[in-house]
Amino acid sequence: MPQYMLALYDDPSGWKKLSPEEMQKAVEKYMAWGKRPYVVTGKRLAADLGKVLKGGSGKGRATDGPYSETKEVLGGIYLIEAKDYDEAVERTLDHPHLEHGTIELRQLYS
């Protein structure tokens, strides 16, 4: 079964508007989605923006993450199984993250 990667982007400042009760509800919705049988794994990314590495003449160079000009950052990824893009989209469309941010869906070559 082909695997698809969900890259979850969001604007962290948006979360601050939620009440404690709403935050709990959001966590519960994510957890419930994550327990679905076709979810292979989920990984959270560190809150820093990471590094960008670029090659140049001779030696490569690392700089701090590239996202400073955008508000949305990549917060985590999930891997799911689906037979094709249509099914992967269908399985992702009700992800609770879409209430808060965007999801980028990409197929992995096995």
Partner 1 sequence: MAPSNFASCTHNVTGAERKNVREAGADSGNDAGVLLDHLFRHQVGRVVAHLARVLGPARLDLAEESIQEAMLRALQAWPYQGIPENPGAWLFRVAHNSAIDSLRRARFLDQNSDVVLAELTRASSIASGDPSFEEQLRDDELRMIFMCCHPEIARDARVALSLKTVGGFSVREIASAFLADDAAIAQRLVRAKRQLRDRHVTLDLPDAAELDQRLDSVLETIYFIFNEGYAAHEGEDLIRRDLCFEALRLGRLLAASSLATPRVHALVAVMALQAARLPARIDEAGDLILLEDQDRDRWDQHLIALGFHHFNLSIAGDQVSEYHVQAAIAAVYTRAADLRSIDWPAILELYNQLLAISGASPVVALNRAVAVAKVHGAAEALAEIETLRGNPRLRDYYLLLAVRGHLLEELGRHEEAAECWRAALACRCSEPERRFLRRKLS
Q: Is residue 102 at the binding interface for partner 1, with CB under 8 A as the rule?
A: no
Closest to partner 1 by CB, 13 vs 70, is 13
Q: 3, 5, 7, 42: which one contacts partner 1 (CB under 8 A)? A: 42
Q: Is 19 in the site for partner 1 (CB under 8 A)?
A: yes
Q: Which of residues 49-68 bind partner 1 (CB under 8 A)?
A: none
- What is residue 21's three-state secondary structure? helix
Nearer to partner 1, 17 or 59 (CB): 17
63: left (phi > 0), else alpha (psi -120 to 50), else beta?
Answer: beta
Classify 82 in phi/psi space as left (phi over 0), alpha (psi -120 to 50) or beta. Answer: beta
